[in-house]
Structure 1
Amino acid sequence: MDEKKTKVTAAFYGGALGPWIPVIIMIVGMIIGTVIGGGGLTRFAIITFAALIAGFLLAKDKKNFGEICFSGLKNHMLSILIIAFLMAGVMGQLLRQSGLINALIYVVGELNMSVGLLPLIAFLICAVISTSCGTSTGSAAAVAPLLIPLSAELGCNVGLICGAIIAGAIFGDNLAPISDTTIGSALTQEAAVKDVVRTRLPYSLIAGGLSAVLFVIFGMRMDVNTTIHIGADETNLKALAMLILPILMIVLMKKGLDIVGTLIICNVVGVVLVLALGCIPLGTLLDNEGPIGAGLTGMMGIVLYALLIFQILEILNVSGAFDRLMAGLIKLCKTPRSGEFAGMAMTAVTTICAGGSSPAIIFCGPLVRNVAKNFGIEKTRGANILDGTSCGVSGLLPYGTCIMLCMNFTQGLVPEDFSFLDIIPYSFHSMFLLLLFFFSILTGIGRRFEKESK
Structure 2
Amino acid sequence: MDTIKNKEVQKMDTVKKNNGTAEFYGGAFGPWIPVIIMIAGMIVGTIIGGGGMTRFAIITFIALIVGFLLAKDKKAFGEISFAGLKNPMLSILIVAFLMAGVMGQLLRQSGLINALIYVMGELNMSIAFLPFVAFIICAIISTSCGTSSGSVTAVAPLMIPLAAELGCNVGLVCGAIIAGAIFGDNLAPISDTTIGSALTQEAEVTAVVRTRLPYSLIAGGLSAVLFIIFGLRMDSGATIQIGAEVANMKSLAMLILPILMIVLMKLGLDLVGTLIICNLVGSILVLILGCIPLGTLLDNEGPIGAGLTGMMGMLLYILLLFQILEILNASGAFDRLMNALLKLCKTARSGEFAGMLMTAVTTAAAGGSSPAIIFCGPLVRKVAKSFNIEKTRGANILDGTACGISGILPYGSCMLLCLNFSQGVVPEDFSFIDVVPYSFHSMFLLVLFFFSILTGIGRRFDEKTK
Moved more, 64-73 or 20-29: 20-29
Shift of the 186–291 alpha-carbon distance from structure 1 to 2, 3 Å rule, reads farther
Aligned partner of 1:240 in structure 2 is 252
| Aligned positions, number | 399
Q: 1:92 aligns with which of 84, 101, 104?
A: 104
Are residue 230 (structure 1) and residue 241 (structure 2) matched? yes
Shift of the 171–332 alpha-carbon distance from structure 1 to 2, 3 Å rule, reads same
How far apart in 1 are the matches of 2:192 and 2:51? 19
Shift of the 184–79 alpha-carbon distance from structure 1 to 2, 3 Å rule, reads farther
Are residue 388 (structure 1) and residue 400 (structure 2) matched? no
Query: How far 1:425 moved relative to its partner?
Result: 8.3
Are residue 124 (structure 1) and residue 133 (structure 2) matched? yes
Which string of whole-angstrom CA distances, capped at 9 and with x for unpartnered residues, describes residues 115-147 of structure 1? xx5422453157648966528875675234443
Q: Please give the residue correspondences for 1:320-335 in structure 2 after superposition, counting only pairs within 5 Å.
A: 320-332=332-344
Q: 1:341 aligns with which of 356, 359, 364?
A: 356
Answer yes or no: is the 8 Å Cα contact 1:6–1:320 preserved in 2.
no
How far apart in 1 are the matches of 2:97 and 2:233? 42
1:89 is paired with a residue whose SS is helix
Shift of the 49–267 alpha-carbon distance from structure 1 to 2, 3 Å rule, reads same
How far apart in 1 are the matches of 2:240 and 2:306? 32
Letter in 2 for 1:10: A
Shift of the 231–439 alpha-carbon distance from structure 1 to 2, 3 Å rule, reads farther
Aligned partner of 2:81 in structure 1 is 69
How far apart in 2 are the matches of 1:254 and 1:5? 43
Are residue 147 (structure 1) and residue 166 (structure 2) matched? yes
Answer yes or no: is the 8 Å Cα contact 1:309–1:363 preserved in 2.
no
Moved more, 63-72 or 231-240: 231-240
Query: How far 1:190 moved relative to its partner?
Result: 12
Q: 1:54 aligns with which of 66, 73, 79?
A: 66
Q: Tell me the TM-score normalised to structure 1 length.
A: 0.69
Shift of the 185–124 alpha-carbon distance from structure 1 to 2, 3 Å rule, reads same
1:261 is paired with a residue whose SS is helix
2:22 is paired with a residue whose SS is coil
Query: How far 1:46 moved relative to its partner?
Result: 1.0
How far apart in 2 are the matches of 1:285 and 1:86? 16
Are residue 174 (structure 1) and residue 189 (structure 2) matched? no
Letter in 1 for 2:352: R
Shift of the 165–48 alpha-carbon distance from structure 1 to 2, 3 Å rule, reads closer
Q: 2:367 aligns with which of 358, 362, 366?
A: 362
Query: How far 1:295 moved relative to its partner?
Result: 1.8
Shift of the 26–121 alpha-carbon distance from structure 1 to 2, 3 Å rule, reads closer
Answer yes or no: is the 8 Å Cα contact 1:393–1:430 preserved in 2.
no
2:82 is paired with a residue whose SS is helix
Which string of whole-angstrom CA distances, capped at 9 and with x for unpartnered residues, describes residues 191-241 of structure 1? 9xxx9xx969987776555444456567789998x8624225553322222
Aligned partner of 1:153 in structure 2 is none
- What do you get for the CA RMSD once the two structures are aligned? 4.9
Shift of the 59–52 alpha-carbon distance from structure 1 to 2, 3 Å rule, reads same
What is the percent sequence identity of the aligned residues?
A: 58
Shift of the 17–202 alpha-carbon distance from structure 1 to 2, 3 Å rule, reads same
Aligned partner of 2:11 in structure 1 is none
Are residue 11 (structure 1) and residue 14 (structure 2) matched? no
Letter in 2 for 1:147: L
Letter in 2 for 1:142: P
Answer yes or no: is the 8 Å Cα contact 2:400–2:446 preserved in 1.
no
Letter in 2 for 1:59: A
Shift of the 34–342 alpha-carbon distance from structure 1 to 2, 3 Å rule, reads same
Which string of whole-angstrom CA distances, capped at 9 and with x for unpartnered residues, describes residues 97-127 of structure 1? 22222222221111125xxx54224531576
Aligned partner of 2:303 in structure 1 is 291
How far apart in 1 are the matches of 2:230 and 2:37? 43
How far apart in 1 are the matches of 2:42 and 2:23? 26
Query: How far 1:326 moved relative to its partner?
Result: 2.3
How far apart in 2 are the matches of 1:285 and 1:379? 46
1:134 is paired with a residue whose SS is helix
Letter in 2 for 1:13: Y
Shift of the 13–213 alpha-carbon distance from structure 1 to 2, 3 Å rule, reads closer
Aligned partner of 2:274 in structure 1 is 262
Query: How far 1:162 moved relative to its partner?
Result: 6.7
1:34 is paired with a residue whose SS is helix
Letter in 2 for 1:314: E
Query: How far 1:73 moved relative to its partner?
Result: 0.9
Shift of the 424–256 alpha-carbon distance from structure 1 to 2, 3 Å rule, reads closer
Shift of the 329–170 alpha-carbon distance from structure 1 to 2, 3 Å rule, reads same
2:72 is paired with a residue whose SS is coil
How far apart in 2 are the matches of 1:425 and 1:64? 41
Query: How far 1:35 moved relative to its partner?
Result: 2.1
Q: Tell me the TM-score normalised to structure 2 length.
A: 0.68
Which string of whole-angstrom CA distances, capped at 9 and with x for unpartnered residues, describes residues 370-404 of structure 1? 22222247889745533333325769xxx9988xx
Are residue 318 (structure 1) and residue 365 (structure 2) matched? no
Q: 2:287 aligns with which of 272, 275, 280?
A: 275
Q: 1:45 aligns with which of 57, 75, 95?
A: 57
